[in-house]
Amino acid sequence: DSGVTQTPKHLITATGQRVTLRCSPRSGDLSVYWYQQSLDQGLQFLIQYYNGEERAKGNILERFSAQQFPDLHSELNLSSLELGDSALYFCASSSIAGPTDTQYFGPGTRLTVL
């Protein structure tokens, strides 16, 4: 158990809908990262927050947004969903926000868009 929790575990929805994925980092970790893993692909970095502020952005679509709340949990919002958004979404946390700081991953949320 990494100490990172993600809810829900599975999500099935229809095209055009909007969903929210939730992540609670390990106790004491200030940095949260979101990654997307599509079928047979590696994990793609989406976005990072540190202590409530956005720190880095990857190839995140404009239809996607995220935020980190004062209690440090984070939410990833996906809107106008398309079939291609079906993927595993992982959240990871680390104590600070820099290289060599080990990232601990949650179990992921499997999103299926029908």
Partner 1 sequence: DQQVKQNSPSLSVQEGRISILNCDYTNSMFDYFLWYKKYPAEGPTFLISISSIKDKNEDGRFTVFLNKSAKHLSLHIVPSQPGDSAVYFCAAQAWEPGNTGKLIFGQGTTLQVKP
Asked if 59 interacts with partner 1 (CB under 8 A), we say no
My answer on whether omega of the bond before 70 falls inside 30° of 0, hence cis, is: no
Q: Which stretch binds partner 1 (CB under 8 A): 12-20, 48-56, 65-73, 77-85?
A: 48-56
CB of residue 40 vs partner 1: minimum separation in angstroms?
7
User: Binding string, 67-96, against partner 1, x = CB under 8 A?
Assistant: -----------------------x-x-x--
Name the region of 16 (left: φ>0; alpha: ψ -120 to 50; beta: rest).
Answer: left
Asked if 35 interacts with partner 1 (CB under 8 A), we say yes
Q: Which stretch binds partner 1 (CB under 8 A): 12-20, 38-46, 70-78, 79-87?
A: 38-46
Residue numbers of the site for partner 1 (CB under 8 A)?
A: 2, 4, 31, 33, 35, 40-45, 48, 50, 55-56, 58, 90, 92, 94, 97-108
